[in-house]
Amino acid sequence: MPELPEVEVTRLGLLMSLPGRCVTKISSSNKRLRLPVPRKLLGEYVLGSAIATIDRRAKYLLFRMQNGAIMVIHLGMTRKLGLIASTTPPAPHDHLRLLLDDTMELRFNDSRRFGCVLVWTPREAEAMEAEFDARLGVEPFSRKFNMQYLRQQGCSRKTAIKNFLMDGRVVAGIGNIYANEILFAASIHPLTPAGLLAPGQWQAVIASTRRILKQAIRSGGSTISDFLGSSGNPGYFQVQFKVYHRGDEKCHQCNNIISKIIVGGRATFFCPYCQPIKTE
Ligand SMILES: [Zn+2]
Q: Which tens digits make up the pLDDT trace of 108-144? A: 988 888 889 999 999 999 999 999 999 999 999 999 9
Q: How confident is the model at residue 86 (pLDDT cuts 50, 70, 90)?
A: very high
pLDDT number for residue 79: 73
Tell me the CA–centroid distance for residue 234 and ligand 1, in Å: 30
The closest of 254, 253, 252, 258 to 271, measured between CA atoms, is 258
The mean per-residue pLDDT over the stretch 221-225 comes to 43
**The residue type at 196:** L
Residue 98 contacts residue 106 (beta carbons within 8 Å): yes
**Residue whose C-alpha is closest to residue 228's, from 81, 101, 18:** 81
pLDDT band at 237 (very low <50, low <70, confident <90, very high): low
β-partners of residue 26 are 98
Residue 38 is a catalytic residue = no
SS3 73: strand
Residue 266 annotated in active site: yes
25 a catalytic residue = no
Whether residue 276 lies in the annotated active site: no
Helices (H) then strands (E): counts for the chain: 7, 10
CA of 23 to the centre of ligand 1 (A): 52
pLDDT on residue 233 = 42
Asked whether 271 and 208 are in contact (CB, 8 A), the reply is no
Say yes or no to pLDDT of 223 above 50: no
Q: What are phi and psi of 219, to 5 degrees?
A: -70, -20
- Whether 254 has a pLDDT exceeding 60, the answer reads yes
- Are residues 260 and 248 in contact, defined by beta-carbon separation less than 8 angstroms? yes
Quote the strand ranges of 110-151, DSSP E: 116-120
Dihedral pair phi/psi, residue 139, rounded to 5°: -80, 135
At residue 238, the pLDDT reads 54
> How do the domains of the chain map onto residue ranges?
4-135, 147-270
pLDDT score, position 139: 97
CB 138 within 8 A of CB 144: yes
How far is the centre of ligand 1, averaged over its atoms, from the C-alpha of 254 (Å)?
Answer: 4
Surrounding residues of ion ligand 1, Cβ less than 5 A:
251, 253-254, 271, 273-274
- Model pLDDT, residue 231: 34
Report the pLDDT averaged over residues 198-215: 96
List the catalytic residue out of 2, 5, 190, 234: 2
Pick from 14-28, 53-67, 200-214, 224-238: least confident = 224-238
242 C-alpha to ligand 1 centroid (Å): 9
Q: What is the mean pLDDT of the chain?
A: 90
Query: What is the distance in A from the centroid of ligand 1 to the CA of 191?
Result: 16
Spot the catalytic one: 11, 59, 80, 107.
59
Evaluated on CA atoms 192, 196, 201, 202, the torsion sign reads: positive
Q: Please tell me the distance between residue 195's alpha carbon and the centre of ligand 1 in angstroms.
A: 24
Hey, which CATH number is domain 147-270, 3.40.50.300, 1.10.150.120, 1.10.8.50, 1.10.730.10? 1.10.8.50
Cα 272 to ligand 1 centre (Å): 7
Q: What is the second-level CATH architecture of the domain 4-135?
A: Alpha-Beta Barrel (3.20)
Dihedral of the alpha carbons of 135, 141, 147, 151, in degrees to the nearest 10: 30
d(CA 47, CA 27): 10
Determine phi and psi for 93, rounding to 5 degrees.
Answer: 75, 15
Whether the per-residue pLDDT at 232 is higher than 50: the answer is no
Q: Is the dihedral of CA 216, 218, 223, 225 positive or negative?
A: positive
Beta strands 23-28; 94-100: pairing state: antiparallel
Report the Cα 244 to chain-centroid distance in Å: 17
Q: What is the mean pLDDT of residues 5-34?
A: 91
Task: With 0.95 as the threshold, say if the pTM is over it.
Answer: no
Three-state SS at 67: coil
